[in-house]
Amino acid sequence: MANGSVDSRLYPQSESSSGQGSSNLSLIQRVRICSDIAEGVAYLHHLSPVRVIHCDLKPSNVLLNDDMTALVSDFGIARLVMTVGAGNGGGAIDDMGNSSANMLTGSIGYIAPEYGFGSNMSIRGDVYSFGVIVLEMVTRRRPTDDMFAGGFSLHKWVKNHYHGKVENVVDPSLIQASMEQSSEVKRMWEVGIAELIELGILCTQEIPSTRPTMLDAADDLDRLKRYLTGDTTATFASSLGISSSTIAAN
C-alpha cells in the first residue's frame, strides 16, 4: 500500500531502537485513520451480508493508501458470524457461541481480556482491540511496551495519568504541533485529543457489555472529524455519553 501501515507511520524505522522519535501524523490524520477503521469494522459487524469478527485488529493490519485512507487488512483469522439472509437486516451476532473456533487468537496487547478466560469470540472483542489502537494513536505507546508488564496495560496507564489533562498522556509531537496554532485551534485540538482518549478508554473497558458498538464509535469519530475540520454543524459532544464520571467508574 502506498503509505504503508499505521504501525510504520506511528513508529518510523529511522527512529532509534530505544523507541525515542516522533511521528509526522497530524491530529486530524490520526482522527481520520481512527474514523476509517471504525467505519470499516462497523460495516463488518453490522452491515455486511456476511457478518465478520476480525479477531486481529492492530496498527500493522491497517494499511494507508495514497490519500491516507485507512483500510483494515489481514483477515486470516477472522470469523464469519452471520450469513446472508440470517436474522434481521440490522442485527449482528454479539457472541459466536462456537467452541470449535474459540481458541485464543489475536495479537498480544490487543486481545480482549475476556478471551484469556475462555469467553467466546465476539464483536466486543474487536471493539476492545480498536480501543487499544485509538489509545496508541494518541499516546504513541505500544501496548507491548516493557512498562506494561505484570498485568499493567495501556488502558490502565492512560486512566491513571489522564485525569482530564491531555498533556499527561499524549504523544509529545502532538503537543508540539499544537503550540504552533492559534488559541482557538489549540483549544479544538485539546478537545479532539480528549475525545480520542475517552473513546479509547471506553472501548477498552474490562466488561464487554459496557463497551460501545463500532457503529457508536464510528458515529462519534465522524462527528469529531467534522468538528476538527471546521464543520459548524458538528459539535464535539460525544454521542457515547462519555464523561469523566463514566470513565472513572469503569
Residues that are catalytic: 56
If phi > 0 it is left, if psi is from -120 to 50 it is alpha, else beta; for residue 161 that is alpha
55/201 Cα distance (integer angstroms)? 19
Using only the alpha carbons of the chain, give its radius of gyration: 18
Q: For helices 123-139 and 154-162, what crossing angle results, to 10°?
A: 50
Long-range Cβ contacts of 219-227 (<8 Å, 24+ apart) = 220/195, 221/31, 221/34, 221/35, 221/38, 222/35, 222/39, 224/31, 224/35, 224/192, 224/195, 224/196, 225/28, 225/31, 225/32, 225/35, 227/188, 227/191, 227/192
Task: Specify the 3-state DSSP secondary structure of 141.
Answer: coil
Would you say 127 and 34 are in contact if contact means Cβ atoms under 8 Å apart? Answer: no
45/54 Cα distance (integer angstroms)? 9
Contacts of 107 (CB under 8 A, 6+ apart): 56, 58
220/227 Cα distance (integer angstroms)? 11
